[in-house]
Copies of this chain bind each other. A is one copy, B any other.
Amino acid sequence: MHKLVPGQSRKHGLPPGTPVFVGQVREEAPEVTLFDYDEAQFKTERVTDIAGCAPLKDKPSVTWINASGLHDVGLIQSLSETFGLHPLVQEDILNTNQRPKVEDHGDYLYVVLRMLQWNDAAGEAIAEQVSLVLGRGFVLSFQERAGDVFDSIRDRIRAGQGRIRKMGADYLAYSLIDAVVDAYFVVLEKQGEKLEAVEEELALAPDRATLRRINALKREVLMLRKSVWPLREVLSGLERAESGLLSDGLGVYLRDAYGHTIQIVDTIETFRDLLASTFDTYLSALSNRTNEVMKLLTIIATIFIPLTFIVGIYGMNFKYMPELDWAWGYAVVLLLMAAIAGAMVLYFRRKTWL
């Protein structure tokens, strides 16, 4: 998924509130897009003049400005300043290792989320930090790279589908959060499939690759968990917030989204329990295999070592060994040995080793 502790230390020694981008610098150009809508109409465009957005703040329509590509620190800074964000918020937007949280700054709410998108090619989820700023009549969203889980919201704004055009900026912010939460279910489902594949493998022929897969899955689930637990607090925090920015009718929606995060947390905890079981099963499969190997060795040794002893006896060079001179000596010894071997095989069969 991603590194355990990303380059946070790059910031070490700088004064608090210094905006530094700590993520991976990308080639793609940053892009700022604008949606401005009310019930009757909507407008969408790519923004080039950021300072020119300032008047939108005070218009009665809902304004949504989405910036993708945080490595252009200057752009993020000018956008933040246009909308009057606190230096620490600017720092947090760029510090892409934030724990999900919500902060009430009076004039605006600042929400940090971790957006997961399933990448089929890599067979794993791609994580990215999304910052939302909900002000009076506007929402700013910041994401690390182009591509997100918000396309259905854009479609709904364009089509005037559902409630979105009839409601305020707070509902837009909720919709963005809800889209992020919904995308977790996709990732969970994929990980559920992986888990089931691992369990099947364990039942058939587990090897070291299985253990690697179990460990990789463990780590993915751990990372997912690290993103979702604080998300739960974010949503219950929003629900309980006494900010004038959130209308009364939004409560029921936030509770609904909160319920979803609880469900995700429950499922993750179940995954953890099941993963612990898979490791136990793997260990016992190893033990079983050692057992099998040992059994084969024991069967071979137990049958042939006594026989080898018998043929050894008649290989001795004593002068007076009466059996050696018997006409049927050889045949009798062969038959005796066959009988011993047969008895052994029966014994092992009764022990269900054969």
Q: Could you list which residues of chain A lie within 8 angstroms of chain B, going by C-beta atoms?
A: 3-5, 7-9, 11-18, 86, 88, 92, 97-99, 101, 103, 105, 149, 151-152, 156, 161-164, 174-175, 178-179, 182-183, 185-186, 188-189, 191-192, 195-196, 203, 208, 211-212, 215, 218-219, 222-223, 226, 230, 252-253, 255-257, 259, 262-263, 266-267, 270-271, 273-274, 277, 279-284, 286-291, 293-298, 300-302, 304-309, 311-321, 323-330, 333-334
Which residues of the partner chain B approach A17 to less than 8 Å between Cβ atoms?
162-163
Which residues of the partner chain B approach A151 to less than 8 Å between Cβ atoms?
13
Known: A17-B162, A315-B315, A321-B330. 19 other contacts (CB 8 A): A4-B270, A4-B271, A5-B267, A11-B185, A12-B152, A13-B179, A16-B162, A218-B277, A282-B284, A284-B286, A286-B287, A287-B290, A297-B301, A301-B301, A304-B305, A315-B316, A317-B324, A319-B329, A320-B326
A7 to chain B, nearest CB (A): 8
| Dominant secondary structure at the A interface | helix
Complex contact A263–B318 (CB within 8 A)? no
Q: Give the docked Cα–Cα distance between A295 and B255 (Å).
A: 59
Complex contact A162–B18 (CB within 8 A)? yes
Q: Give the docked Cα–Cα distance between A240 and B133 (Å).
A: 25
Q: Give the docked Cα–Cα distance between A326 and B9 (Å).
A: 79
Q: Give the docked Cα–Cα distance between A286 and B324 (Å).
A: 47
Complex contact A163–B15 (CB within 8 A)? yes
Complex contact A9–B189 (CB within 8 A)? yes
Name the one of B15, B279, B318, B326 contacting A324, with C-beta atoms under 8 angstroms: B318
